Amino acid sequence: MRVLGVDPGLGRCGWAVLEGRGGRAVAAGYGTIHTDGDQVAPRLATLAARLRQVLADHRPEALAIERLFFNANVRTAMTVGQASGVVLLLAAEHGLEVSAYTPPQVKQAVTGSGSAPKEQVGYMVKALLGLAAAPTPADTADALAVALCHLNHAGLAGGVRGGRAGPTDGTGPGAGVGGALGAASTADWLARAAPTSPGLGRGPGDPRGVPRRIGSGPAGGAGR
Q: Which residues are catalytic?
A: 7, 66, 139
Positive or negative torsion for Cα 106, 112, 114, 119: negative
Which residues have a Cβ under 8 Å from the Cβ of 154 and sit 6 or more positions away?
Answer: 1, 3, 20, 62
Torsion angle (degrees, nearest 10) of CA 93, 143, 137, 114: 150
Which DSSP state fits 95?
T
- Decide: 199 and 111 in contact? Cβ < 8 Å: no
Q: Closest by alpha carbon to 178, among 109, 107, 105, 104?
A: 109
Determine the Cα–Cα distance for residues 177 and 132; give it in Å rounded to an integer.
19
